[in-house]
Amino acid sequence: MAGQSRSRYQYIDSFLNKPGPTTDPDFVPGGPTISNLEASKVLVIGAGGLGCEILKNLAMSGFRDIHVIDMDTIDVSNLNRQFLFRKDDVGKSKAEVAAASVTSRCKDVKITPFNGKIQDKDEDFYMQFKIIICGLDSIEARRWINATLVSMVDMENPESLKPLVDGGTEGFKGQARVILPTLTSCIECQLDMHAPRAAVPLCTLATIPRQPEHCIEWAKIIAWEENRKNTVLDTDDPEHITWLYDKALNRAKEFNIPGVTYQLTQGVVKNIIPAIASTNAIIAAACCNEAFKIATSCNPYLTNYMMYTGDDSIYTYTFEHEQKPDCPVCGNLAKSITVNPNHTLHDFIDSLGERPEAQLKKPTLRTESTSLYFQSPPSLEEQTRPNLTKKLSELISDGEEIGVSDPAFTIDFKFKLIFQT
């Protein structure tokens, strides 16, 4: 970079031109570190509330080769906090507009946008990056990229280990974490910190809805099954969301319940968490600082979890979340789960969606010797369906391990079922 354009980073360079008391022993001050920073290829996943802040911060921190991927388009509701977008951008790709907005201000930065799902990219795509930063609002997407990065690690190839910096917010609360796949606690190790939303009883949804959310859940769980059971619900398909919205709106009118909107339907169906711009800014800043430290070794990076809360005064706390030997992604032991042997297999499958340590929505289960239940294809589902009404004690023994797969994830899970006494 020419000296004139580099002058804009003079305050950042003060960290890079000389060592400090906490710099890494391998830190080389000056030109080599600055060149390494500029050459670091970074992937940002998500161009929403967090992603906009992250892209801006990276561009202003000396990163010059940034890539961003997001499958969403801009909605008018995004404009209050996703500051890279304008009213004329509504309906356009978030990734493309965000990239163009930042590069129009930072001419020396290259941002390559991708409009699509992270699941559509293969390992070769992720292998090209030095650091991956997540600004997602979905636990499922976090779990997918986490499992993918862990599976990519080749102990004989250090370049295959891609540091993952993950940020998340919920109202006035947020967290930032640094994950070194296979070496430190991963997202799956920490899954029980993100308990699934409490389920609404089906009887309430079916007979006496009281809130607009109940009408939307009814459309998703009951109406969809009755009318479109042969179609897999895709929460990222606008046609599917519109269908659910129309059904929920009619349901709400029937019970005189106001408040069902398209935006709320998206939020309930996709479990989108309300966001506050200032919280996004705080967490995005923390994530980008960690990426900067990883890329330059100018200071020790986070080990490995920082939580922030601003709903009751202001409080932050940093701690090291331990790697779990029974983590289904980075561990090698089966996770123990206590179950009631008198519950049916159907009950157990339902519980896998509610358990904080599992959160599996469409599991297929098998033991070492037999198939317990297959979600698909239809022929295997029909063949294993009779097992759903059987007690667990009829199908497995106390302490037996089962394998569980879910179409949302690239890995198989192992659970050791311990019978309650």
Which residues participate in catalysis according to the annotation? 203
Query: For residue 297, is it left (φ>0), alpha (ψ between -120 and 50) or beta?
Result: left
Q: How far apart are CA 298 and CA 40, in angstroms?
A: 15
Q: Judge whether 302 and 316 are in contact, CB under 8 Å.
A: no
**139: phi then psi, degrees, rounded to nearest 5:** -65, -40
Q: How far apart are CA 77 and CA 274, in angstroms?
A: 11
Question: 149, 161, 131: which is closest to 67 by C-alpha?
Answer: 131
Q: Judge whether 207 and 332 are in contact, CB under 8 Å.
A: no
Q: Judge whether 359 and 353 are in contact, CB under 8 Å.
A: yes
Residue 338: how many other CB atoms lie within 10 Å: 10
Query: For residue 72, is it left (φ>0), alpha (ψ between -120 and 50) or beta?
Result: beta
| Residue located via tokens 């430190």 | 184
Residue 79: how many other CB atoms lie within 10 Å: 14
Q: Are strands 131-134 and 305-309 parallel, antiparallel or unpaired?
A: unpaired
The tokens for 125 are 């795509």
Q: Judge whether 305 and 318 are in contact, CB under 8 Å.
A: yes
Residue 358 CB contacts under 8 Å (≥ 6 apart), including other chains: 191, 337, 351, 352, 404, 413, 415
Q: Judge whether 414 and 328 are in contact, CB under 8 Å.
A: yes
Q: How far apart are CA 96 and CA 266, in angstroms?
A: 22
